[in-house]
Amino acid sequence: MDRPMTFDEIRDNFAFLDDWEDRYRYIIELGKTLAPLPDAERTEANKVRGCASQVWLVTRTEQGDDGVRLHFTGDSDAHIVKGLIAILFAASDGRTPAEILATDTDAVFDTLGLKAHLSSQRSNGLASMVRRIREDAAKLTA
């Protein structure tokens, strides 16, 4: 695929899948689409706190005609978490800090029905990743 999937495409594909076994496999496949994270970026500064798995998140900015946009790369040592990262990036990558801060990420993820099907550790990890992206966005609006 030449471009990352949009969140809307992921949501449509989720709706098409009949059961959660298929959805978990799909989430894992999404994780395989993440760009590789260079070893040099697997630092303590890029590590997301509050995740049971190891998760690294790197935020970059790009100045465009309409302002700053955020772009993300990341990785995890857990397959399902890599997929959650891919979904989170589909909902956040390329957006302005204001757009990220205005987004109710819980509501976005609720459209997938994920909360009821993730362990409490995975839910906490996802919340930590969302918090990190929002913190990075907030730093740019201060």
Residue 127 belongs to domain spanning? 7-141
In a domain, 2, yes or no: no
What's the whole-model pTM score?
A: 0.92
Residue pair 70/61 in contact by the 8 Å Cβ criterion: yes
In a domain, 23, yes or no: yes
Inter-axis angle of helices 79-92 and 120-141, to 10 degrees?
Answer: 30
Tokens 């040592």 belong to residue: 77
In a domain, 107, yes or no: yes
- The encoded tokens of residue 95 equal 């957006």
Active site residues: 51
In a domain, 58, yes or no: yes
pLDDT digits (tens, 9 = 90+) for 32-76: 999 999 999 999 999 999 888 999 999 999 997 888 999 999 999
Mean pLDDT within 85-95: 95
